[in-house]
Amino acid sequence: MDKTTAQSVAHVLIEALPYIQRFAGKTIVIKYGGNAMTEEHLKAGFARDIVLLKQVGVNPVVVHGGGPQIGSLLKRLGKVSEFVHGLRVTDRETMDVVQMVLGGLVNQEIVSLINRFGGRAVGLTGKDGQMIRARPLRELNGPDGMTAVDLGMVGEVESVDPAIVHNLDKSAFIPVIAPIGFDRDGNAYNINADTAAEKLAVVLDAEKLFLLTNTPGVLNAQGELIPRLTAAEVDEMIRSGVIHGGMIPKIRCALDAVRSGVTATHIVDGRVEHAVLLELLTNEGVGTLISR
């Protein structure tokens, strides 16, 4: 390493220092999905980010999706995926596949990657430790917007018991959570990963919630990235139609989190290598920060 390169590295570390000091001991919930979960170099970069955060005293909690992986296995099994408002209709046979993919294949791949880079990750689903209690989600559809659609074993979060996550954090472990909940009869439910991450962030009194996406962040009417927004500004952008379509559910999760006590939510471009570190520990960041 030459002198110029060494000085550049030192500058980066010095820039990160006040952020490390600020967030040491704090909980950061990260919803992991999109390209960051499918491209090999991005997966490795994400795992390193999580290990580094834990090493400097931050408590990362990872909540992951797995829609493409579920869809791929269903297709191989000859089962057609049906969606309503972006939610996968989940009968009991599909729920078996969801549990196998989310709670097994995907979860354990993430755990293995984090451990490979020196972390101590523990894979969980919302059923473990009775963490995520769920109830059936009834999506409204039809011209009147009032017709209930039966989505099968798709759930919404009824309550969250964070005890198992707290215990893992205190023991230097990194929780990696698949968004599968359970009801009072022990039935499993497929829960949207953004929603599960948001509810966990609130109950854990998290300092920040990160939502990794395949977009740069929140864009203005000219398609330019907006680095910072308040909740009121986001409301106005939704009313005016600047924020629309598939971004609205993610933004609503972000708003619900900050209005329920999370200090800030970050909509982050998961296609950027080391996006979590860049957004959390540098002055510029790589996404949109939403605060109260």
- Work out the number of other CB atoms within 10 angstroms of the CB of residue 83: 11
Distance CA 105, CA 150 (A): 28
Q: What is the pLDDT of residue 148?
A: 67
Residue keyed to tokens 């992986």: 69
Task: From first to last of the 292 residues of the chain, give the pLDDT tens digit.
Answer: 666 677 777 888 898 999 999 999 999 999 999 888 989 999 999 999 999 999 999 999 999 999 889 999 999 999 988 888 778 889 999 999 999 999 999 999 999 999 999 999 999 999 999 999 999 987 655 545 556 678 899 999 999 999 999 999 888 999 999 999 999 999 999 999 999 999 999 999 999 999 999 989 999 888 899 999 999 999 999 999 898 877 888 899 999 999 999 999 999 999 999 999 999 998 877 899 999 8
Q: What is the pLDDT of residue 146?
A: 56
Distance CA 135, CA 151 (A): 12
**CB 168 within 8 Å of CB 139:** no
**CB 33 within 8 Å of CB 250:** no
Residue keyed to tokens 């970050």: 266
Q: What is the pLDDT of residue 149?
A: 75
Q: What is the pLDDT of residue 221?
A: 86
Distance CA 186, CA 34 (A): 30
Q: What is the pLDDT of residue 140?
A: 58
**CB 288 within 8 Å of CB 255:** no
**CB 177 within 8 Å of CB 235:** no
